[in-house]
């Protein structure tokens, strides 16, 4: 199921989504991004060793938080709502990990990094939802997939399936940055252990990002427009990406998911 199906707003179309953004319904500006950046830079100067540790610290309970909260609220949640719950889960894990034993100033370094990460995760989630709706608006001959299976197993944000032939586009949505490109490279080499109902065996799925599409949103607004803090891809940019990718990928990766049940996954991958 897609995020939109889970929150029972699957009747929302791209025009509706843009209207919500222009009305500032997601309240991204209510979160002080520049203040978070200042704190991160201060932390790096104050204690760079702890700052590096914080960069590599992960909280598994927030991995699917956006989808879970949208399902609970029955709508697309706001940035303040998301960050409030995000930081509750973060602080809960701090209590049970080594972070809870650190001095107050050191723990704040971890808190500042995690808050900034949550801010970025929320904006990325909205960029994905927006692109999904844009693709549905642009193309009648495709089925658009955006679900837990494509994310957790394939490592892909959106799959565009041709209704009429053996063709699909596998799209990764991420920010244009050196760090994001490194993350994509790391994701492409991961093996995910799953249970395959076709073979009735556990097996390792080796991800393959060959000929996948990388849709980069950017603060310079070369590939997108930023409206009230939300990245909205330019249609001409997305059309060019799909046109250049035509015929390069079949449906094999997508159909593999028919035999996989997430409930029996052995290894969950943080993305």
- How confident is the model at residue 61, as a pLDDT? 92
Q: Helix (H) and strand (E) counts for the chain?
A: 11, 8
Q: Domain check: are 23 and 102 in the same one?
A: yes
162-176 residue pLDDT tens = 999 999 999 999 999
Number of Cβ within 10 Å of residue 252's Cβ equals 10
170 located within any domain = yes
pLDDT attached to residue 155: 93
Check whether 264 has a pLDDT greater than 80: no
123, 147: one domain: no
pLDDT of 19 above 80: yes
Examine residue 11 and state whether it is found in any structural domain, yes or no: yes
Report which DSSP code applies to 142: E
Q: What is the pLDDT of residue 30?
A: 95
In angstroms, the CA 91 to CA 55 distance is 16
Same domain, 121 and 147: no
Of the candidates 154, 126, 116, the residue with the CA atom closest to the CA atom of residue 217? 126
Asked if residue 132 is part of any domain, the answer here is no
**Residue 222 to residue 177: CA distance in whole angstroms:** 13
Rounded Cα–Cα distance for residues 121 and 62 (Å): 10
Chain segment 77-113, per-residue pLDDT in tens: 999 999 999 999 999 999 999 999 999 999 999 999 9
Output the pLDDT for position 253: 95
In a domain, 269, yes or no: no
Domain presence at residue 102: yes
Q: How confident is the model at residue 8 (pLDDT cuts 50, 70, 90)?
A: very low
Residue with tokens 């520049």: 34
Please identify, among 63, 97, 127, the residue that sits at the C-terminal boundary of a domain.
127
Domain boundary among 127, 159, 191: 127
Asked if pLDDT for residue 25 goes beyond 60, the answer is: yes
Same domain? For 8 and 119 the reply is: yes
Q: Answer yes or no: do 66 and 174 share one domain.
A: no
Backbone angles phi, psi at 109, to 5 degrees: -60, -45
**Whether 9 and 120 share a structural domain:** yes
- E strand or H helix that includes residue 172: strand 168-175
Instruction: Tell me the DSSP string of 179-241.
Output: HHHHHHHHHHT-EEEEEETTTTEEEEEEP--TT-EEEEE-TT-SSEEEETTEEEE-HHHHHHH
Same domain, 40 and 122: yes
Domain membership of residue 217 as a residue range: 142-264
The angle formed by the CA atoms of residues 197, 211 and 159, to the nearest 5 degrees, is 50
* 61 occurs within a structural domain: yes
HSE, CB side, 13 Å, CA atoms: give it for residue 145. Answer: 22
Instruction: Report if pTM > 0.85.
Output: yes
Q: Per DSSP, what are the bridge partners of residue 143?
A: 161
| 150 and 258 share one domain | yes
Q: How many domains does the chain have?
A: 2
Boundary residue ending a domain (75, 94, 127): 127
Distances in whole angstroms, Cα of residue 24 to Cα of each of 7, 78, 217: 19, 10, 19
**Burial environment of residue 29 by CB neighbours within 10 A (0 to 12, 13 to 18, 19 or more):** exposed
Q: Do the domain assignments include residue 135?
A: no
């Amino acid at each position: 199921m897609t995020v939109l199906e889970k929150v029972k707003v699957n009747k929302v179309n791209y025009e509706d989504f843009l209207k919500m953004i222009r009305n500032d319904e997601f309240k991204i500006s209510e979160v002080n991004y520049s203040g978070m950046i200042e704190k991160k830079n201060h932390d790096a100067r104050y204690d760079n060793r702890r700052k590096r540790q914080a960069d590599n610290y992960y909280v598994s309970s927030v991995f699917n938080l956006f989808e879970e909260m949208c399902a609970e609220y029955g709508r697309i949640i706001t940035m303040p709502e998301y960050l409030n719950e995000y930081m509750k889960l973060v602080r809960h894990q701090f209590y049970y990990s080594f972070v809870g034993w650190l001095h107050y100033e050191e723990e704040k370094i971890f808190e500042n990094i995690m808050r900034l990460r949550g801010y970025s995760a929320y904006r990325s989630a909205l960029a994905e939802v927006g692109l999904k709706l844009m693709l549905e608006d642009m193309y009648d001959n495709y089925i658009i997939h955006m679900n837990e299976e494509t994310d957790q197993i394939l490592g892909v944000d959106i799959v565009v399936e041709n209704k009429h032939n053996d063709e699909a586009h596998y799209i990764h949505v991420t920010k244009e940055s050196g760090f994001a490109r490194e993350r994509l490279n790391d994701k492409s080499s991961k093996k995910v252990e799953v249970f395959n109902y076709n073979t009735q065996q556990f097996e390792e799925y080796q991800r393959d990002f060959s000929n996948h599409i990388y849709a980069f949103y950017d603060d310079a607004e070369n590939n997108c427009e930023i409206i009230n803090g939300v990245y909205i891809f330019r249609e001409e940019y997305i059309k060019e990406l799909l046109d250049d990718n035509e015929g390069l990928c079949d449906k094999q990766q997508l159909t593999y998911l028919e035999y996989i049940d997430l409930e029996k996954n052995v290894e969950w991958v943080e993305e």
